[in-house]
Amino acid sequence: MAGVMAYFKVSYKRFGDSVPMSIDRLLLRKFSTSMRETLIEGLSLFQSEQTELAKLFHEDPHIVQTRKSLVEREKQLQRIWNSR
């Protein structure tokens, strides 16, 4: 009798786990696949010229300048720290 109860508990839990897994597989993954395809088509990523792709991934000049400034500042602080 104990074996039957153990089997029932395991199968009950497995059934409970299979419902969210089915929802994930049927709805969410199909939705994400559809969204990915729509975005790729809408942005024409694989049909665009190289210059158009560069515009999409272009970094703001202000951010570039800030990064360069921070890297230089880090180097200065490292020199000061190492000279102690």
Contact predicate 42/56, CB 8 Å = no
Q: Which pLDDT does position 45 carry in this prediction?
A: 65
**pLDDT exceeds 90 at position 63:** yes
| pLDDT in the model for residue 30 | 84
Contacts of residue 6, Cβ cutoff 8 Å, sequence gap at least 6? none
User: For the residues 55-80, what does the mean pLDDT come to?
Assistant: 92
| pLDDT tens per residue, range 15-56 | 888 888 888 888 888 888 888 888 878 777 667 677 777 777
The band of 67, judged by pLDDT with boundaries at 50, 70 and 90, is very high
Instruction: Report pTM.
Output: 0.38
